[in-house]
Structure 1
Amino acid sequence: MEKTAYRKGVLAILAELLQEPTDDTVGELPAMVKYLHEAFAALEYPVPLLAYSDWPKLAGGREALALAYNQSFVFPPETRVVPVESIYRQWTSDSSAQVPFAKEKGYLMSDAALHMKALYESYGLELPPAFSATPDHLGLELEFAVFLLENEAAERQAVFWREHLDWVDELADEAEKNGIPAFYRQVLKVIAAFLRADRENYEQVK
């Protein structure tokens, strides 16, 4: 299997794990772990097996994983994390913006979100209604990365990786600091490690 196919497969799995879990999600975890191990080895990406080999055990059943999902990303607000790019970006770079939080982080629908929305529209892609306020949700961005791998040249891919996929280390660090449930803490660590390694594909691409 060529490396691009492995990259698409990994991105698709990681995007799925950021959705609300289903019975299928839980049932597919052993196969996901096997595929990730094969893919990281083929890609020569430094993502250790121990970072994800326990996922089936940590997940438990669907109800347990659904609870972990809610505790990780929904409630309580004091410890949850929000896997949305805008939260980790300055809200806008527009110097004429009059809102008091224009230069701050932590708000939805930043410039990054508006750019993601414009990208979907430019490719004729429909934004799921549930994500109307978060078009820059990490799960959607990973799915869009798969789309670019399938439909665009490396130059266009490189721009997206640089502009929209360089913030996840901060998300993973916050998840660790906040002590979200172990399953999703590990998922975010693996996503961050994969994206760090994957960006090297584009270091020389202009």
Structure 2
Amino acid sequence: MNGLNNKTDCADDFLILADLYKLPTREIWNEMKEQDLLKRLEASIKDHYNIALSLEEVLPENYAEFQELYRNSIGSTQTAAALPIESLYKPWTQDETCTLPFARDKGYVLGDSALHINYLLEKLKIEIPVELQSMPDHLAILLELLAYFIEHAPEHFIAEYMDDHFDWLDEFESQLSAATEHLFYQRLTRLLIGTVKAYRTNYL
């Protein structure tokens, strides 16, 4: 990593990406519309990773549409949404002694990855929002932890964390394509995949 400023900038990029996978708030909408949040994110990612993708050109027209897109795309278990929760995309456990009938199946929350994230959160004494406590391996939490580790953890730990917890994004992106025709979250996820790979390659 080339200097403290670069490290902080990269961590900030992942924090913004994390916010974009949460339920849209009026605050984040105003930052996008009035403070050029997406333009600043795109410029930073292009500068650090040489990746050029525009989120702004596929942003919904207004705040209500953005919230509806979130619910229909990645935020509701009542629809065919593609939920950004790591456990859903991996076998529930790798524990060979587990005899539960769904132990090797995918599609269940609170699997091995969630247990590992809960362990890290407990060790770091980090509390997560109540609405995400039943899914600690939600992508927003994974990205916030990554930002924290970029600034506070050794590089070998960051590399291991990225290898362990970001290897399901391609499958998530594929499910997004089936969940919605709107391009915002698909493009956001494509941008994230490229950024994660570039960070892993260029800085670790």
TM-score by length of 1: 0.88
Cα contact 1:88–1:167 (8 A) shared by 2 = yes
Contact 2:87-2:111 at 8 Å conserved across structures: yes
Which residue of structure 2 aligns with residue 61 of structure 1?
62
Give the letter aligned to residue 30 of structure 2: G
CA drift of 1:170 comes to 1.4
Cα offsets for 1:22-48 (capped at 9, x unmatched): 222222225222212321232133x22
Deviation per CA, 1:129-151, whole angstroms, max 9, x where unpaired? 21221000000010011111121
What amino acid does structure 2 have at the position aligned with 1:161?
M
* Alpha-carbon contact 1:71-1:180 (below 8 Å) kept: no
1:48 aligns with 2:52: yes
TM-score normalised according to structure 2 size: 0.88
Give the alignment of 1:27-176 within 5 angstroms. Answer: 27-30=30-33, 31-45=36-50, 47-49=51-53, 51-55=54-58, 58-75=59-76, 77=78, 79-176=80-177
* Pairing 1:18–2:21 present: yes
Counterpart in 1 of 2:199? 198
User: Residue 79 of structure 1 contacts residue 180 of structure 1 at CA under 8 Å; is this kept in 2?
Assistant: no
Q: Does the 8 A contact of 2:72 with 2:180 survive in 1?
A: no
Worse overlay, 15-24 or 138-147:
15-24
1:187 corresponds to: 188
What letter is aligned with 2:47?
A
Superposed CA deviations along residues 162-197 of structure 1, whole A, max 9, x for unmatched, are 111221121112101332532222222222221122
Residue 17 of structure 2 aligns to which amino acid in structure 1?
L
Unaligned runs of 5+ residues in structure 2 are none
| RMSD (Å) for aligned C-alpha atoms | 2.0
Gaps of 5+ in 1: none
**Alpha-carbon distance change, 135 to 180 in structure 1, aligned in 2, over 3 angstroms:** farther
Identity %: 27
Q: How has the CA–CA distance of structure 1 residues 26 and 127 changed in structure 2, closer, same or farther, with 3 Å as cutoff? A: closer
CA distance in structure 2 between the partners assigned to 1:142 and 1:101 by the alignment: 28
Q: 1:75 to 1:181 in 2, by over 3 A?
A: farther
Q: 1:70 to 1:180 in 2, by over 3 A?
A: farther
Count of equivalent residues: 199
Q: 1:123 to 1:189 in 2, by over 3 A?
A: same
Q: Which amino acid aligns with 1:197?
A: A
Q: Does the CA contact (< 8 Å) of 2:146 and 2:158 recur in 1?
A: yes
Task: Give the CA deviation at 1:118.
Answer: 0.3
Question: What code does the residue aligned with 1:186 have?
Answer: R
The runs of at least 4 aligned residues of structure 1 exceeding 4 Å deviation read 75-78
